[in-house]
């Protein structure tokens, strides 16, 4: 009798667990695979059903049958200097890792700039991962399309070359650009310049679009638009360009589309004896550790980078569990007032 009971229970299926718990098969699958998108009530019911039925998922057999690797790739199409030098990546990877740690998936990191995509693509399309996340997408990163054809993929940020089937999690960069510019206008500034991000990236385009739109509504023209490439060195060079823009004239305020660019600009201005914010106000974008690493502390637009990483992972895990999450998720920004504007 004992042997018969043990055999019957050990052979329990995922469908029987779902029926006992009163939930769908996909909900049981999410619980078994460590997914986070399960209500506490459903989680408790599934766990009770698993215990009652002695259900033990055979991960090895399931992996062989479905070709699952329980690995996810994080692809960063940037060079190592930018990856390790920009706090944005630390924040977003922290969020991705935190959300991934609650699942049974392992995270593999690929910094793909030194490889034009060939090696990375061969590996990721060769059955070595179940899904992928791409953060910091440029228009030239066409190799990502081949990855998207092979495995479920979620973009961190709006894709540079969008397709109808894309999934992405972004921050409202246009609203953030408008927010920063409106703050400067409301402070009485009229000669407002921007140090813009790369036009090959949607974040750079969108923040610039927000800057232009807010100035237009106020009946103002940009004092100047100078590229800065999202780096401190680019911000410093852009500030020098702005100071040389018109002899005897300089902007009253600068919106830099990243904190790194804002910090580079502030250093250059102060080295020229220009007071910040008394002579030139500066506002950044990110609210990264760079904003408060030196004095004066940056006034900036805060983007929820760590939360963005968490949501990206939640969307990918939902796709891997067979769900259909919303294709696009947009997170809000907020203004943080400090000392530079």
Quote the pLDDT of residue 34: 62
Quote the pLDDT of residue 33: 65
DSSP-assigned states of every residue in 72-104: EEEEE-S-HHHHHH-HHHHHHHHHHHHHHTTSS
Lowest mean pLDDT among 6-15, 46-55, 330-339: 6-15
DSSP-assigned states of every residue in 246-292: BTTB--SEEEESSHHHHHHHHHHHHHTT--TTTTSEEEEEE--GGGG
CA atoms in the 13 A half-sphere facing the CB of 51: 6
Out of 49-53, 69-73, 123-127, 278-282, the most confident range is 278-282
Bridge partners (DSSP) of residue 283 are 255, 299
- Checking if the pLDDT of 8 tops 50, the result is no
Quote the pLDDT of residue 11: 57
- Checking if the pLDDT of 59 tops 70, the result is no
Helix (H, G, I), strand (E, B) or coil at 142: coil
According to DSSP, residue 230 is labeled T
List b or e across 108-144, with b for residues whose CB sees 16 or more CB atoms inside 10 angstroms: bebbbbeeebeebbebbbeeebbbbbbbbbbeebebb
- Checking if the pLDDT of 317 tops 50, the result is yes
Q: What is the pLDDT of residues 106-130, one digit of tens each?
A: 999 988 765 555 778 888 888 889 9
Place of tokens 């969307």: 315
Which of the pair, 4 or 215, is modelled with greater confidence? 215
pTM summary value: 0.77
- Checking if the pLDDT of 10 tops 50, the result is no
According to DSSP, residue 238 is labeled H
Contacts of 181 (CB under 8 A, 6+ apart): 192, 194, 210, 211, 214, 215, 255
**Cα–Cα distances in Å, from 267 out to 4, 295, 296?**
77, 10, 10
Domain 173-302: top CATH class: alpha beta
Rounded Cα distance between 33 and 49, Å, is 16
CA 259 to chain centre: 16
Place of tokens 């440029």: 138
Average pLDDT over residues 46-61: 73
Same fold, 71-171+305-331 and 173-302: yes
Domain 2-57: top CATH class: mainly alpha
State the average pLDDT for the chain: 87
Quote the pLDDT of residue 29: 73
Burial class of residue 157 in the structure, from the number of CB atoms within 10 Å of its CB (0-12 exposed, 13-18 middle, 19+ buried): buried
Instruction: For residue 321, count other CB atoms closer than 10 A to its CB.
Output: 19
Contacts of 333 (CB under 8 A, 6+ apart): 171, 172, 173, 175, 176, 179, 301, 302, 303, 304
Q: Specify the CATH superfamily of domain 71-171+305-331.
A: Response regulator (3.40.50.2300)
- Checking if the pLDDT of 315 tops 80, the result is yes
Contacts of 190 (CB under 8 A, 6+ apart): 220, 252
Quote the pLDDT of residue 221: 95
Q: What is the pLDDT of residues 261-306, one digit of tens each?
A: 999 999 999 999 999 999 999 999 999 999 999 999 999 999 999 9
Strand spans (E) along 10-146: 71-76, 106-111, 131-135
Q: What is the pLDDT of residues 190-208, one digit of tens each?
A: 999 999 999 889 999 999 9
Q: What is the pLDDT of residues 127-174, one digit of tens each?
A: 889 999 999 888 878 788 888 888 899 999 998 887 878 999 999 999
Q: Parse the chain into domains and list their residue ranges.
A: 2-57, 71-171+305-331, 173-302
- Checking if the pLDDT of 3 tops 80, the result is no
Which of the pair, 148 or 260, is modelled with greater confidence? 260
Average pLDDT over residues 180-194: 97
């Amino acid at each position: 009798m004992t042997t018969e009971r043990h055999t019957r229970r050990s052979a329990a299926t995922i469908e029987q667990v779902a029926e006992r718990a009163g939930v769908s098969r996909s909900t049981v699958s999410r619980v078994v695979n460590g997914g986070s998108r399960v209500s506490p009530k459903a989680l408790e019911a599934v766990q009770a059903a698993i215990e009652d039925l002695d259900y033990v998922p055979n991960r090895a057999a399931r992996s062989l049958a479905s070709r699952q690797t329980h690995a996810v790739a994080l692809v960063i199409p940037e060079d190592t200097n930018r990856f390790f030098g920009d706090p944005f990546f630390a924040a977003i990877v922290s969020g991705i890792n935190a959300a991934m740690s609650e699942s049974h998936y392992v995270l593999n990191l690929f910094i793909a700039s030194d490889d034009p995509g060939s090696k990375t693509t061969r590996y990721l399309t060769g059955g070595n991962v179940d899904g992928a996340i791409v953060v910091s997408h440029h228009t030239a990163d066409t190799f990502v399309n081949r990855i998207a054809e092979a495995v479920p993929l979620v973009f961190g940020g709006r894709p540079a070359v969008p397709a109808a089937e894309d999934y992405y999690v972004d921050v409202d960069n246009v609203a953030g650009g408008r927010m920063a510019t409106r703050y400067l206008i409301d402070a009485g500034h009229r000669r407002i310049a921007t140090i813009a991000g790369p036009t090959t990236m949607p974040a750079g385009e969108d923040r610039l679009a927000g800057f232009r739109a807010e100035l237009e509504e106020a009946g103002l023209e940009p004092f100047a638009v100078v590229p800065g490439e999202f780096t401190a060195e680019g911000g410093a060079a852009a500030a020098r360009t702005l100071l040389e823009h018109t002899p005897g004239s300089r902007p009253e305020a600068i919106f830099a589309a990243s904190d790194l660019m804002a910090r580079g600009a502030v250093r250059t201005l102060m080295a020229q004896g220009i007071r910040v914010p008394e002579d030139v106000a500066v506002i950044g974008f990110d609210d990264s550790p760079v904003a408060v690493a030196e004095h004066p502390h940056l006034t900036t637009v805060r983007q929820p980078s760590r939360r963005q990483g968490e949501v990206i992972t939640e969307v990918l895990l939902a796709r891997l569990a067979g769900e259909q999450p919303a294709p696009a998720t947009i997170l809000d920004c907020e203004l943080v007032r400090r000392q530079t504007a």
